[in-house]
A = this chain, B = another copy of it.
Amino acid sequence: MRYALTEQQQARQAEFRDFVASHVDPHAAAWERAQALPSEIITMMAGRGYLGATLPTGYAGQAWDVVTFGQLNEAFGRSSSSLTSVLTVQAMVAMAVLKWGARHQKETWLPRLASGEVIAAFALTEPDAGSDLNALTTEFTRRPGSGTLVVNGRKRWITCAQIAGVFLVFGKLDEQPLACLIPRSTPGVTIDPIRELMGFRAAGLATLSLVNVEVPSENIVAKPGFALSHVMPVGLQYGRISTACSALGLLRGCFEETVVYASERKVDGHPLGDIGMIRRLIARMGTDLAAGNLLCHNACRTEDEHAPEAFENALAAKYFTSQAAVRAASDAVQVRGAVGCHESSPTSRYYGSAKIMEIIEGTTQVHEDLLGKIYLGQRAMLRR
């Protein structure tokens, strides 16, 4: 894969990996145990520009291409899926605002997101509706005679909501899908942390309650009705790319940890890696890693090129890497045995987190449905 990266991309990849090795690896297990991320690490990431990776320099971002953004997510995913989720949701909100927000929204929020002054969260999922925008029950109403909206609703499983300062909330106004920026400090906003997940424990998930929350209508992102067709897709596309690369990092972690262990652990005087059944698992992991790497790079590259297949490619990448990560985590634990089930081995963290990669940003089943539909739609391009 090295070939596919420019020298600059390679240099940044190395930098990301160094950062993670120094500042994430030693603490990732403790963060999961504490079920929280310390603000220091987020500050450090912000200091490196990671929170505004894909934002233009005019908004204090790095203006990195999506391939580089993918490398960033992979490097963090190698160590902590939870911490990577900050990159995910920050990009989801920032890119949706960049693409469809009003100038004043961009000027207000983007520099603060890029600098890490504010963490954003993407408040789409509801307890009953899942991520089906048409079924959302969060309701925006206009206060007559004023530019004020009143919001009522409940959002659940909102990643990073525990630490977020602003939410991109999806709901309905006059039966039209709406996206709106709501600062955490607005009266009526309540955050209930969700703890005791089986993985992804430091990702700061929370339930968000909105009771008679008043926001100025200028906080609406894009016109009413564009939330479903324009705003959400941008966010979800970055969510899928980030998650695909994060799962790829996790898969790489499983692969590397297994290679190291199987090289060093001796059984009857021989390295574990001499055993055919172990080699088989490593061969599968390594090939999945190679394939996942190419699929992720392909998704990022086509996104950089605004190619029409970028959507399909991101789906395929996320679908493949999240499932491969689950397989790899299971095998990585299995190769280590009991040792691999303990938090002192990253494999135990991988095991819980990988499964969650199959659920967030569209479940495997949603991906199968979407990809199936897309592929069937290509029937006309086939000659016979």
Cβ of A341 within 8 Å of any chain B Cβ, yes or no, is: yes
Distance (Å) between the CB of A329 and the closest chain B CB? 9
CA distance A244 to B131 in the complex (A): 38
Q: Considering the complex, give the chain B residue whose CB is closest to the CB of A295.
A: B291
- Interface mask (A268-302 → B, CB under 8 Å = 1, otherwise 0): 10010101111111111111001110110010011
B130 contacts A267, C-beta separation under 8 Å: yes
Complex contact A316–B373 (CB within 8 A): no
Inter-chain contact A348/B291, CB cutoff 8 Å: no
Instruction: Verify A355–B379 contact, CB threshold 8 A.
Output: no
Docked-complex contact B283 and A375, CB < 8 angstroms: yes
User: Among the listed B1, B33, B365, which residue makes an inter-chain contact with A277, where contact means beta carbons less than 8 Å apart?
Assistant: B365
Determine whether the beta carbon of A280 is less than 8 Å from that of B372. yes
Which of A140-148, A212-220, A330-338 lines the interface with chain B?
A330-338
Q: How far is the CB of A317 from chain B (nearest CB, A)?
A: 9
Partner of A282, one of B197, B285, B351, B375: B375
Known interface pairs A197-B343, A291-B291; 6 further A-B residue pairs with C-beta atoms within 8 A, sorted by A's residue number = A29-B196, A196-B344, A198-B351, A200-B341, A259-B378, A277-B277
Q: Are A368 and B284 in contact (CB under 8 A)?
A: yes
**Residues of chain B with a CB closer than 8 A to A115's CB:** none
Question: Are A338 and B125 closer than 8 Å at their CB atoms?
Answer: yes
Query: A342 at the A/B interface (Cβ < 8 Å)?
Result: yes
Nearest CB to that of A299 among chain B residues?
B290
Task: Check A199 for interface membership: any CB of B closer than 8 A.
Answer: yes
Query: Mind listing 9 A-B residue pairs with CB under 8 Å?
Result: A197-B343, A259-B379, A276-B368, A279-B369, A283-B367, A283-B371, A294-B295, A337-B363, A338-B360
Kindly state the interface size class of chain A when it binds its partner: 35 or more
Assembled-state Cα–Cα distance A156/B344 (Å): 14
B197 near A375 with CB under 8 A, answer no
Name A276's contact: one of B33, B275, B355 (CB within 8 Å).
Answer: B275
A320 and B342 contact, CB distance less than 8 A? no
CB distance from A55 to the nearest CB of B (A): 26
CA distance A367 to B162 in the complex (A): 45
Given contacts A260-B379, A351-B352, A341 and B368 within 8 Å (CB-CB)? no
* A277 CA to B292 CA, complexed, in Å: 24
Which residues of B lie under 8 Å from residue A356 when comparing CB positions? 341
Q: Assess the B263–A379 pair: CB atoms within 8 A.
A: yes
CB-nearest residue of chain B relative to A338? B157
Q: Which residue of B lies closest to A348 (CB)?
A: B198
Measured CA separation A357–B301 after assembly (Å): 32
Residues of B within 8 A of A333 (CB): 198, 355, 359
Give min CB distance, A23 to chain B, whole Å. 15
10 smallest A-B Cβ distances: which pairs? A279-B372, A294-B294, A283-B371, A196-B343, A291-B291, A198-B348, A283-B368, A157-B338, A276-B276, A286-B375
Is A176 in contact with chain B by the CB < 8 A criterion? no
CB pair A364 B294 closer than 8 Å: no
The smallest beta-carbon distance between A165 and chain B, in angstroms, is: 23
